[in-house]
Structure 1
Amino acid sequence: MKLKTYKYKLELKNTFRISHTARDFQETLIVELSDGGFTGYGEAAATSYYGVDVESMSATIKAMEPLIAENIHKTPEELWEITNPHFKGNSFAQCALDIAMHDLHGKRNGQPLYKMWGLELKDLPLSNYTIGIDTVEIMVQKIKEFPWPLYKIKLGTDEDVEIIKELRKHTNAIFRVDANCAWTAEQTIEYAPIMKELGVEFLEQPLPANDLEGMAKVLQHSVLPVIADESCINESDVKKCADYFHGVNVKLTKCGGLTPGRRMIAEARELGMKVMVGCMTESTVGLSAIGHLLPLLDYVDMDGGMLIKNDIADGVKVYDGKTHFPNRNGTGAELLIIKEELKNA
């Protein structure tokens, strides 16, 4: 068995701004896991908001190399359970390893992941394209530069309703609104009927994650569905969210990979909730893993490859209004650029 980690700096096409941060680059960790002539790739984007950096993720994974080697012939789910106590809450690092192990496992078994899971590529939801917070003129310009049938609009300003009204003048696309915890319950309830009239499909995480009293009011009075994001981090959060949201947005990096992500999707379905999976501006390595979950989802946000200039991989791609799958096993991801291995561990 061979385990390598790489650090990449993904350059964004535009400054990506949400209610609590802005960035022009996205650093990301790639894990390369090889055994028996097969190689799997996994990814986790570093996110300062969650206190995650590439070096610490790499060090955490490299420290477990003997344990991984000892259990490399087990299933991804078995390896996840074995290594989970050693990650000590570092879900981003565990996600990168778990995706790499799934990719390796699919290749060893000669099948793409969706086939291994008994799924078919039909009736797949299309990814939205995200428009970050900016001046309304620049937000309009982004829509004109990238015509798409489905946009996620990042909000959290003093002019949120006016922004949606102006954007609606320039496209007939469906809108989804993500306030990233920036609104109050009163604002959400007030804005919802206006935004529904303007073609907004749902509201994502309008309130801070700890404002459960406010979310109870929103659930009772909002005329638009509300989807949890920051309120739904790991598996234990799904059941809690059922009392306050219509659906959940599962992020593989936040929960620890495909293994817990699939369990969260199944639980949400059992609870009668809508299910979305979102990305963290990963490259096509991470996005390819998300792609194999599409048959299980109502909504998906996997537009990272459309938002970056220097995608480092080939695999599951979103373009021309469709999701395109390569004829390869595992996740289907292949690195296009190999860099020097991280030696920090």
Structure 2
Amino acid sequence: MLRWHLESKKLQLRYTWKISRNSSDEKTNLFIRVADRRFVGIGEAAPNIRYGETAEALTHQYELLVENGLELIRSLEDLQVLLSLYPPANSLRFAIESAYIHYYCQKKSISVVEFLGVNLPASVATAFTLPIMNPELVANFIRDNNLNRFANLKVKVNQEDGLNLVKQVASVNNRPLIVDANEAWTDPDKLLIFLEQLKPYQIAFIEQPMPATEIEAYKYLRQQTPYDIFADESVTDHADFEALQQQFHGVNMKLMKAGGYLNGLQILEQTRQHGLKTMVGCMVETSLGIWSAMQLCQGVYQADLDGFLILKDEPFGIVEERNGELFIS
């Protein structure tokens, strides 16, 4: 019989992580371990309050799965049936599925990419994200952290300071910027005014500027925008890709939203099939979660896998960043 175990870790951040809807100085992530007497697999869950996820709620969901036979599963198919009968939050589903796949691959002496039928890139160039902060602090923050080593910087913005934040980043960085509003705007015309104000600066694309519910507003925006618009919160573990084509130019797939390797692969494939650009992103995660995301990065348009770089004490050390490139240690 397989032995399952859940552990929570409180992760202190190097600085306050502020986006348009909330801020935090620490994160509590969950780690699922499955083992027999010889082999072991571990998966990570990074709860996201945007989707109503908390460490406490996920712990209760895990306990429900244990009560209903988690330790009796004998295959990935068994696991998928159990997860469909007692569906957990997407991040917990990913932790459980990935832990089992990591265990299975170790037992069979195969790599995760071999199991998934994909190729592992030699390295992954990642963007680095600046949280919302006092615009006067931006230039020193970039210099002090040597952030110009990254090919792209992502700027978190809100309506109040968005333009000034972009301006300050652009003053000390000459590469195209990703602007991420985390659903901060509700009026597409006001958003378009903001986008017009960005024209003096190099902008790569805009990420999820309005709430996911604003479908008609996104259709209107897509016809008017001077920049590509990428979906983040609009795509979780499922999506209507026919509708997404009318709203966005690209999709940010995160395994913590997709709920598993297998569904993450499917979302990336559907994104490509519908002529949209692919992006692989992350939450605030350890290198375990980032390592997992790297398995799916071959051929993606943009990777944004810096979540482990803002941790004070990263516990696993299985991914290394050098000059803006990620390497598996």
The two structures have a TM-score, normalised by structure 1, of 0.87
Local SS of the residue matching 1:295: coil
CA distance in 1, matches of 2:41, 2:326: 21
Question: Partner of 2:253 in structure 1?
Answer: 250
Residue 68 of structure 2 corresponds to residue 69 of structure 1: no
Q: In the comparison of the two structures, how many residue pairs are matched?
A: 323
Whether the aligned pair in 1 keeps the contact of 2:157 and 2:180 (CA below 8 Å) is yes
Structure 1: tracts of 5 or more residues without a match: 327-345
Shift of 1:92: 2.1
Cα displacement (A) at 1:182: 0.9
* Identity %, equivalent residues: 24
Partner of 1:329: none
The CA deviation string for residues 280-311 of structure 1, in whole angstroms up to 9 with x for no partner, is 10111111110111104211221111111011
Q: Which residue pairs with 1:341 in the alignment? A: none
Aligned to 1:63, the other structure's residue is in SS state helix
Q: State the secondary structure of the residue aligned to 1:24.
A: strand
CA distance in 2, matches of 1:170, 1:9: 34
| Residue correspondence of structure 1 range 280-295 to structure 2 within 5 A | 280-295=283-298
* Between 46-55 and 273-282, the greater mean CA deviation after superposition: 46-55
Give the distance between the partners of 1:308 and 1:101, measured in 2 at CA: 26
Q: 1:94 to 1:120 in 2, by over 3 A?
A: closer
1:188 to 176, 187, 191: 191
Normalised TM-score (structure 2): 0.91
Equivalent-residue separation in structure 2 for 1:320 and 1:100 (angstroms): 30
Whether the aligned pair in 2 keeps the contact of 1:161 and 1:191 (CA below 8 Å) is yes
Whole-Å separation in 2 of the counterparts to 1:281 and 1:274: 23
Spell out the pairing of 1:285-324 with structure 2 (5 A cutoff). Answer: 285-324=288-327
Pairing 1:275–2:278 present? yes
| Amino acid in the other structure paired with 1:319 | R
Over residues 23-51 of structure 1, what are the superposed CA-to-partner deviations in whole Å (9 max), with x where a residue is unaligned? Answer: 00011000011135111110111233322
Deviates more, 1:213-222 or 1:156-165: 156-165
Correspondence list, 1:34-73, <5 A = 34-65=35-66, 67-72=69-74
**What letter corresponds to residue 189 of structure 1 in structure 2?**
L
2:9 corresponds to which residue?
A: 8
> What runs of 5+ residues in structure 2 fail to find an aligned partner?
none
Greater shift after overlay, 181-190 or 7-16?
181-190
Contact 2:62 2:88 in 1 (8 A): no
Q: Which residue of 2 aligns with 1:331?
A: none
Q: Report the CA distance between 1:194 and its aligned residue.
A: 4.1
- 1:1-345 equivalences under 5 Å are 1-65=2-66, 67-72=69-74, 74-75=75-76, 78-88=77-87, 90-122=89-121, 125-146=124-145, 147=147, 148-183=150-185, 184-326=187-329
The structure showing larger relative contact order (alpha-carbon pairs under 8 Å, at least 6 residues apart) is 1
What is the RMSD of the two structures over their aligned residues, measured on CA atoms? 2.0
Supply the AA of the counterpart residue of 2:130: I
Q: Secondary structure at the match of 1:133?
A: coil
Residues 233 and 118 of structure 1: CA distance in aligned 2, closer, same or farther (over 3 Å): closer
Instruction: Name the CA distance, whole Å, in 2 between partners of 1:300 and 1:80.
Output: 29
